[in-house]
Amino acid sequence: MDMKVAKKKLGLKDKYKLMTRDLGWEPSYHSKDELYPYMNYEGIKIHDWDKWEDPFRLTMDAYWKYQAEKERKFYAIIDAHAQNNGHLNLTDARYLSALKIFLQAISPGEYAAHRGFARVGREFPGVGPQVACQMQAIDEIRHAQTQIHAMSNYNRYYNGFHAFADQRDRIWYTSVARSFFDDSMSAGPFEFMIAIGFSFEYVLTNLLFVPFMSGAAYNGDMATVTFGFSAQSDEARHMTLGLEVIKFILEQDPDNLPIVQNWIDKWFWRGFRVLGLVSTMMDYMLPKRVMSWREAWDIYGVENGGALFKDLARYGIKPPRGWDDAEKAIDHMSHQFMLGLYQWSFGTAFHSWIPSDADMDWLAGKYPHTFDKYYRPRWKHIKKLADAGTPFKNYGLARLCQTCQLPSVFTEPDDPTLTCHRETVYKGEKYQFCSDGCQHIFENEPEKYIQAWLPMPQLFQDPINGDLGEWMKWVSLLDGKDNGDYAGSEDQKNFEAWRGLATTNQ
């Protein structure tokens, strides 16, 4: 009689190999060059794809198990948040301006990253990166969906949430994040991995998800905190994947070093410019703040970033080209960008306001060498104009940077009283830039950036033809409801009325 033999349980390493590397095969009736045409496009040399290591050794069956558990917890919490009028637990409805920017600029970026990873997973011949890209593509679309679902409850009660998809494509300040992702998605597969794995995941995510999600908790927004925590384990995996890509490429061939260094220089600066939005959200848009942008940068930029570049120094990688200019800008960028958002608030899908005396005292304490000297006098002057019934609004068209698409609101690295402006001529056309970093990126790839879609010229094209009202219709902006000053807005009145009613009924 035959004896039943217990099946030997596979170890983690063997199971990982069986469900990833062993799924690959060698092509027979097409060459690898035909199947993977972009592998030689960027000049990167890969000699052995089997050297790719996934530090998490995550297989698809384990992935679905973990994600399903997170989904159950996430939707249970946001359902409870909606049923218990969680939107009334906010410190102040001003906080919603930060969420509106997040929904209009960052959440569509998650979807763009999903599309990008789905593409490059097809373009890599190695099975290890194919599986890793497949998982990250699913992560990114899940993040976009959970962020939209978490914030959808606010759309029932407040203005400015209704048309984030249209505004992502058409409104001026969201083109900053849009151009970042369009730039990465139109790059080759290796550069895309550096752009997202290093710049978006390591530089941007650290400075957005950790301190900003803490700020959401401080301001009573448990829906946003929940999607932040739900994504954290994914983000840790993404950052690790991004560093693994850099190390893998550098270990394959010494000729890869200058290419990777150039990408790190470029994508650090591109990511840093997107962080201009994040700095303003942290310093100005959280009624109850957990830390300043400067404090967040010191922890997640200087300490973590410094440790990363020390680790990569053994491969010959140096700190990014714009690192020193970024450090000089930290004490200025949130103030300069908020001043820009205030003067153009008629063209935004969120509210702006003049900081209170208490807010300005807090900012002065966090920025002792810059705020009182350069920015408090400006805010006092703006407040004086508002009190006189002549609020400061700038109806002129901002000069946009051809690379990052931000208005030229930033100052020279060594002179905060002088607006930074650079320009170059290419094929007879003049192009404008907000910094040396953006000009350098343009001059390395001019044919790419001359094709950039800039929102300001759209004002003079059909169907707008210079009519501000037509432009507002085109960007789905409800004038007087979505934009303008927070004081006296529908959002402020509704929030205070509903919270007062809820307190009375308790």
* Nearest-angstrom CA–CA distance, 170 and 164: 10
Position 53 scores a pLDDT of 78
DSSP one-letter string for 90-129? SS-GGGHHHHHHIIIIIHHHHHHHHHHHHHHHHH---HHH
* Nearest-angstrom CA–CA distance, 210 and 290: 11
Position 237 scores a pLDDT of 85
Domains of the chain: 20-27+30-353+392-503 (1.10.620.20)
Position 205 scores a pLDDT of 78
Q: How far apart are the first and last CA of the chain?
A: 75
pTM of the shown model: 0.93
Identify which of 243, 491, 199, 194 has the alpha carbon closest to the alpha carbon of residue 349. 491
Position 44 scores a pLDDT of 95
DSSP one-letter string for 469-496? HHHHHHTT--TTTTSSBSTT-HHHHHHH
Q: What 3-state class would DSSP assign to 464? A: coil
For 272, phi then psi, to 5°, come to: -65, -40
Q: What 3-state class would DSSP assign to 338? A: helix
Structure tokens at 228: 């932040």
* Nearest-angstrom CA–CA distance, 176 and 270: 9
* Nearest-angstrom CA–CA distance, 215 and 142: 22
Position 6 scores a pLDDT of 63
Cis peptide before 463 (omega within 30 of 0): yes
* Chunked mean pLDDT (size 10), the chain, 506 residues: 66 77 83 90 92 80 89 92 89 92 92 94 89 91 94 92 89 92 95 92 79 87 88 84 90 96 96 92 92 92 89 94 95 96 92 94 97 97 95 87 94 96 96 96 96 86 83 87 88 85 55
Position 194 scores a pLDDT of 94
Crossing angle for the helix pair 257-284 and 333-343, nearest 10 degrees?
60
Asked if residue 44 lies in contact with residue 259, where contact means CB atoms within 8 angstroms, the answer is yes
Position 432 scores a pLDDT of 95
